[in-house]
Amino acid sequence: MSVKTCVYCTNENGSVKSCEEIFEGGVAFFMQSTGAGRVLAEKLVRKNMLRLPYRKVLDGEVASDEEFEEVMKKL
């Protein structure tokens, strides 16, 4: 059974990017798209990555539901 992956989490050949690549890409996305600072962007990405079946646990603070919802409104 294959796991569906996000287009932003995969390489051109279909392989899943490293956790670090996914993390940094997500941080850049949230900073550019919402104006979030680096610390908040990292917390948002950690929260978002908890939903991914192919992610590994990242150390660090996770955004609260309220923080996440507030930023998602900006997208």
Q: What is the pLDDT of residues 16-60, one digit of tens each?
A: 898 889 999 999 999 999 999 999 999 999 998 888 776 665 678
Which structural domain, as residue segments, surrounds residue 25? 7-72
Structural domain includes residue 2: no
Residue 35 lies in a domain: yes
pLDDT at 1 over 60: no
For residue 15, being part of any structural domain is answered with yes
Task: Give me the number of domains the chain comprises.
Answer: 1
Instruction: Assign 7 to helix, strand or coil.
Output: helix
Residue at 30 is within a domain: yes
Residue 1 maps to a domain: no
Record the tokens describing residue 40, joined without a space: 């908040």
3-state secondary structure of 36: coil
Residue 35: per-residue pLDDT: 94
**Looking at the predicted structure, is the pLDDT value of residue 12 above 70?**
yes
**Continuous segment of H or E residues that includes residue 28:** helix 19-34
pLDDT of 13 > 60? The answer is yes
Say if pTM beats, i.e. exceeds, 0.85: no
Let me know if residue 55 belongs to a domain.
yes
Alpha helix (H) ranges present in 1-75? 19-34, 38-49, 65-72
